[in-house]
Amino acid sequence: MDYAECKAVLSTKLTKERYKHSLGVSSTAEQLAKRFGVSSEKAKLAGLMHDCAREFPTKDFVEIAERMKIPVGEIERHAPILLHAHIGAKLIESEYQIDDEEVQAAIRLHTTGGENMTKLDKIIYLADLIEPNREFSEVTYLRELAEKNLDRALFEAFNQSILHVIKGNQVVHPYTIIARNEMLLKE
């Protein structure tokens, strides 16, 4: 499916709010891609589709993931919503006929981040947080950083995500810690 077809189908799968968020992530990702020299077509598409599996009932995530042969760890069993990223990455291939490993990887990594993120992965992670419909106290700061420096913005985005998770007394996913540490160790 091309971008317009994906958009039409997606609009029937998501709530109005989530669909609006997805369009916001798509256009933010497109801008970031142009700014930081990545394929804007891929960024636009990955941004649009990143939450395509987000509206499945939470109780079904583990079963769907297992059926799709996605590894389900202890943390995912505890917080099944995390699986929407992995399921979404597979779903774009099976349901939307998008066969693009780079787009799939960016969708897979959009909630936790991970090791060796590509520029496209970083853009989607960041766009998810700073798209125009997002409102939280540090969002303006993150948007300003994203104007200039992708890695700096991403590092701060990891900080914000980790702090948010800690404030909610939730489990911090090790991938996010690994991704954040990797950025410090590379400097």
Question: Which residues bind to Fe ion, rule: CB under 5 A?
Answer: 51, 128
Is 30 or 51 the residue whose CB approaches Fe ion more closely?
A: 51
- Supply the angle between the helices 119-130 and 139-148 in degrees, to the nearest 10: 150
Measured CA to CA, the distance from residue 137 to residue 118 in angstroms comes to 27
Q: Please, are residues 104 and 45 in contact by the beta-carbon 8 Å criterion?
A: no
Q: At its nearest, how many Å lie between Fe ion and the CB of residue 53?
A: 9
Q: At its nearest, how many Å lie between Fe ion and the CB of residue 75?
A: 16
Is 148 or 172 the residue whose CB approaches Fe ion more closely?
A: 172
Residue for token pair 């917080």: 79
Q: At its nearest, how many Å lie between Fe ion and the CB of residue 20?
A: 11
Is 179 or 184 the residue whose CB approaches Fe ion more closely?
A: 179
- Whether the CA torsion 168, 173, 118, 150 is positive or negative: it is positive
Residue for token pair 């891609």: 33
Q: At its nearest, how many Å lie between Fe ion and the CB of residue 187?
A: 28
Measured CA to CA, the distance from residue 30 to residue 12 in angstroms comes to 23
Length of the chain: 187
Is 12 or 148 the residue whose CB approaches Fe ion more closely?
A: 12
Is 170 or 186 the residue whose CB approaches Fe ion more closely?
A: 170
Q: At its nearest, how many Å lie between Fe ion and the CB of residue 111?
A: 5
Measured CA to CA, the distance from residue 164 to residue 170 in angstroms comes to 9
